[in-house]
Amino acid sequence: MHITELRMLVILSEEMNMRKAAERLFVSQPGLSQRLQSIEKAWGTKIFIRSQKGLALTPAGERVIEYAKEIVKKEERVKEEISELEGEVHGTLKLAVASIIGQHWLPPILKKYVNKHPHAKISLVTGWSSEILRSLYEDHVHIGIIRGNPDWKGYKQHLLTDSLYLVDTEIQDIAQLQNTERPFIQFKSDSTYYQEIQDWWYRQFKQSPKRTIIVDQIETCKQMAFNGIGYAILPGVTLQDEDDRIYKVPLLDVDGQPLARDTWLIGYENFFELKQVSAFLDMIQENVQTK
């Protein structure tokens, strides 16, 4: 099999969805389906079972995917080793980043990185803390950037601390929350963020909000608050651009100090020897020092 076909199988196994895999591979869904059929014919067995909910691996498919991942990983490592022999930064920088950071804090740094190192490639995935940690444990990425305070035994560098704010187009004071009929817009999270907000709310009011709206993304939550649908509690990193439509009221802890969230860079130091990773860490260091 060609290495491109092995990479295709790996991406299919990661997404378990034809549409999403086709988007990552920049091919049409029918084209991807046809190529998969050819691969399965070459193996003489079904690799995936298709259903309305997505894909599922057959027992034979599990063995094929295991083989594909091994070969793809070996090829990537050989390419990285070859790149190390050359003077310029080559290879693929693989990052797993908290969605908030990927949307708001990281893009200016990546812009500097790609301008300075045009031969380097970037593989960036965003998600929840548990997904980022899993990607690191399974060696799918070189570096993770995570929110909260992760229990990580490897390399760990603090990047930033940002305060939490009540954001609304009408409410200007925390005391107004006690009597408002406006809904509290919350976004889903698997990190400690949600619990921190719940603890703060209970300390303040000893009861749940009268009305809530739950959304799946922080950006959706932000836009709903900015458009006057209700109020939200958002980290300062998402509120860099001043907007005269909203009030930003800082949340305080029991000692009267701003309630805040930390962001950490984590990873295994053996990956830092790769030039594309080392160059990114240098870029991060420059950014942190200038803040």
Decide: 274 and 84 in contact? Cβ < 8 Å.
yes
CATH 1.10.10.10 holds for 1-85: yes
**What global pTM score does this model have?**
0.69
What pLDDT, on a 0 to 100 scale, did the predictor assign at position 156?
A: 94
What CATH class does 161-260 carry? alpha beta
**Chain CA centroid to CA 248, Å:** 25
List all residues 6 or more positions away from 242 whose beta carbon is below 8 Å from its beta carbon: none
Burial class (CB in 10 A: 0-12, 13-18, 19+), 277: buried
Report the alpha-carbon distance of residue 163 to residue 260 in Å, rounded.
4
What pLDDT, on a 0 to 100 scale, did the predictor assign at position 228?
A: 93
Residue spans per domain, the chain: 1-85, 161-260
What pLDDT, on a 0 to 100 scale, did the predictor assign at position 242?
A: 63
User: Same CATH fold, 161-260 and 1-85?
Assistant: no
Mean pLDDT, the chain cut into blocks of 10 residues (291 residues total): 88 92 91 93 93 90 94 87 73 92 92 92 89 90 91 91 93 90 87 80 86 89 93 90 81 89 93 92 84 57
What pLDDT, on a 0 to 100 scale, did the predictor assign at position 232?
A: 95
Decide: 73 and 101 in contact? Cβ < 8 Å.
no
